[in-house]
Amino acid sequence: MLNIVFLDRDTIGPSVDIVRPAFAHRWTEYGKTPPDMVAERIRDADIVITNKAPVRAEAIAAAPQLKMIAVTATGYDVIDIAAARAAGITVSNVRGYAVNTVPEHTFALIFALRRSIVGFRQDVIDGEWQRANQFCFFNHPIRDLAGSTLGIFGSGSLGSSVARIAEAFGMKVLFAGRKGMSEEPAGRTAFDTVLAQADILTFHMPLTPETRDMIGLAEFEKMARRPLLINTARGGLVNERDLVTALDRGLISGAGFDVLTKEPPANDNPLLAVLDRPNVIVTPHVAWASDEAMQSLWAQVISHVENFEKGTPTNVL
């Protein structure tokens, strides 16, 4: 009988029905697991399910029965893939579950910032409308999406879904090529060209050593159209201190971020100091978390576990 350990149930919303595998098994579930307790909790596990609890080389080495790790996310930077591969452990992630929820959240941020919803809402709360001498007032900029240019970093399922929505709104879409590349494949636009031409930039790519701090002050200074920056992908793609500098210098029009470099953020995170600005929105890594998306995610996790038990593993990294 396989021993299954779920390390961080609390990272999946309470609305989700945590269906368990159909085959006979032992199930151990923890609300959350600190990094220093992972090795102890998976010591006798055959299968580990994790979202954010890191499974590193030391924990893998201390779990001689471990055969599979199921990641309840698309990103898998919490797993030491090299160590798992060396130990013959199958690692599977989930894919495609967020094809609606993340693009919708992306556009929620875009609309809120492009039309200054946050600023105008606060003005009404503060009595500005009541004191106005006419039916409306113009304290903040309002820009249409139609006719604007959207630069997308990442052309997978999420980036492609965002592009389809953008085109429906009459936007011009540019998929950015890799940073530093002199030649781009068909359908891509040079990285620096996207920086210079986009009115809005949105990120839909994993965090890797190559993409960490992909956008810093040097890149902000190339943004000729003072774009909005939207990040619903991974914290660390954009240097947060440089982002605040870009806001202070007027190099960008605003920022809508659902992800930060450290989550939850420390009190000294530079973005927390500018949350009162009407052109800054930070949401707590919830773009992925519609009820529908989370239930779909869990169904994938269980299918991968069941497929592994049958000898036909799926979504193997």
- Cα(199)–Cα(89) distance, integer angstroms: 44
Q: Of 40, 167, 221, 263, which is the active-site residue? A: 263
Active site residue 263: yes
**233 half-sphere exposure, CB direction, 13 A CA radius:** 26
Rounded CA separation 241/263 (Å): 16
Question: Per the residue annotation, which of 240, 285, 304, 309 is the catalytic one?
Answer: 285
Token pair belonging to 59:
């924990």
Choose, from 219, 234, 240, 309, the residue flagged as catalytic.
234
Q: How far is CA 183 from the centre of its chain?
A: 28
CA angle 63, 65, 67 (to 5 degrees): 100
In angstroms, the first-to-last Cα distance of the chain is 25
Three-state SS for 255?
Answer: strand
Print burial letters for 15-44: b (CB count within 10 Å at least 16), e (below 16). Answer: ebeeeebeeeeeeeebeebeeeebbebbee
Q: Is 234 a catalytic residue?
A: yes
Q: Encoding tokens for residue 4?
A: 């299954």
Query: In the chain, where do the E strands start and end?
Result: 2-6, 25-29, 47-50, 68-71, 90-92, 149-153, 172-175, 200-203, 228-231, 254-257, 280-282
Tokens of 296: 């779909």
Active site residue ranges:
234, 263, 285
